[in-house]
Structure 1
């Protein structure tokens, strides 16, 4: 199903359709402040496994991140954040960054990396943050099952033609981007750039 959600004012009925789908263990393709991503409720193990099958990856080796609504929501899923790190997070979020942080007990085992870490995003995108807020849980965040994002994958209609059969809902909230988020590992003494993307690492450190 291709479902339209206005980027600034998503219709409550359409939003409800997405929430019900996620609660039922469904998979959606949704907008972020970077590229269109694919995800599910982080507490739906069967949906996480289904995404792994779609992407052809082993759930035990997968490095998935997920989307929180805001900074206070993020701190539920990470171990205590010290003041310098909190300043960086506050400066960066909402924004096009993924932060690798020590995972708290609330993070489902399937989504923790071997090092007991988790990647967390708070995108500057009203639609996906509203979905998280209404759902009451974070949603998993992973890229589409493609080698790289090219121009056609900014168009929700083309995304629906190509991947609509693999997922339950493709959300159309206008054109997406082409650049992935910047990934920063904050589990060591100093923040470390893992992947350069849409966000500036230099602006934060």
Structure 2
């Protein structure tokens, strides 16, 4: 199924339908402020395993990230120092992924060997509305073009739908996406390090 939503004013009724699908273990593809992403409710083990299968990895090795509603939502799932909180407050919402030590409240299916989790708060009203209605974080992993495919598979929602419609329950068409991923900032060591330079500038 392909659903069209407008980023500046997403339809409330459609948002509620999408969230009902997520609560029932659905997997969706949705726009962010960078690349289109595959996601599900982080508390649905079967859905997380489906996303892992789509990406061709085991959940515990996938290093998935999650989208939170706001900074207040993060502390339940990740340990944040005062310095890191100030940095996140400065740059979020925006095209950044902050990698932080995970807390014991993170669902086991998402706990990788490093016991870390990537945190995102994208500047996109569609995904913000979904997370707000869901009342909890949304798993996120970028839709990537496989080798030999043109870049449009990342940016064009209709082409994404053609490729993934048998693998996911819903694709949200929020207009053309970006083809540059988020900037990844690792906050798990002694120093804060940019491990991937993406769309966001520090």
**TM-score of the two chains, using structure 1 as the length reference:** 0.93
Give the gaps of 5 or more residues in structure 1. Answer: none
Contact 1:182 1:196 in 2 (8 A): yes
1:183-198 to structure 2, matched below 5 A, reads 183-198=184-199
1:88 and 2:92 are equivalent in the alignment: no
Give the gaps of 5 or more residues in structure 2. Answer: none
1:146-184 CA distances to partner (integer Å, 9 max, x unpaired)? 337813421111111111111000001111100011111
1:42-57 to structure 2, matched below 5 A, reads 42-57=42-57
User: What CA distance in whole angstroms lies between the structure 2 residues aligned with 1:142 and 1:31?
Assistant: 11
Contact 2:144 2:154 in 1 (8 A): no
The RMSD of aligned alpha carbons is 1.4
Contact 2:40 2:139 in 1 (8 A): yes
Contact 1:4 1:14 in 2 (8 A): no
Aligned equivalent of 1:25: 25
User: What CA distance in whole angstroms lies between the structure 2 residues aligned with 1:152 and 1:110?
Assistant: 28
User: What CA distance in whole angstroms lies between the structure 1 residues aligned with 2:139 and 2:60?
Assistant: 15
Structure 1 runs of 4+ off > 2 angstroms? 145-149
**TM-score of the two chains, using structure 2 as the length reference:** 0.94
1:13-162 to structure 2, matched below 5 A, reads 13-79=13-79, 81-147=80-146, 150-162=151-163
Aligned equivalent of 2:174: 173
Contact 2:152 2:159 in 1 (8 A): no
SS in 2 for 1:60: helix
User: What CA distance in whole angstroms lies between the structure 2 residues aligned with 1:41 and 1:176?
Assistant: 22
Aligned equivalent of 2:9: 9
User: What CA distance in whole angstroms lies between the structure 1 residues aligned with 2:189 and 2:53?
Assistant: 32
1:112-153 CA distances to partner (integer Å, 9 max, x unpaired)? 221211111011111101101100110100012533781342
User: What CA distance in whole angstroms lies between the structure 1 residues aligned with 2:171 and 2:126?
Assistant: 13
Contact 1:54 1:145 in 2 (8 A): no
